[in-house]
Amino acid sequence: MADFKYEIVKHIGVLSESGKGWTKELNVISWNGANPKYDIRDWAPDHEKMGKGITLTEEEAAKLRELLG
């Protein structure tokens, strides 16, 4: 697997927490120096490990908000 870099630009909040201490979070993240995007994924307590997640542009996040009502 190729190396990649990420920077959590803004921590928005925790959606849930597992019994093992991992948290599902909504953050704004810059991946490999690209423009930051909204990101939802599971994180280990130290943010050194992460699970699979989804990234959304500003427009996609706005559409999701609209769909959720």
pLDDT at position 4 is 84
The per-residue DSSP string of the chain comes to -----EEEEEEEEEEEE-TTS-EEEEEEEEETTSPPEEEEEEE-TTSS-EEEEEEE-HHHHHHHHHHH-
Task: Tell me, rounded to whole angstroms, the distance of Cα 24 from its chain centroid.
Answer: 8
Compute the mean pLDDT over every residue in the chain, rounded to the nearest whole number: 95
pLDDT at position 1 is 59
- The Cα 54–Cα 19 span in angstroms is 22
- The Cα 65–Cα 59 span in angstroms is 10
CATH class of 6-68: mainly beta
Rounded to an integer, the average pLDDT of 4-23 is: 96
Rounded to an integer, the average pLDDT of 7-29 is: 97
pLDDT, tens only, 27-43: 999 999 999 999 999 99
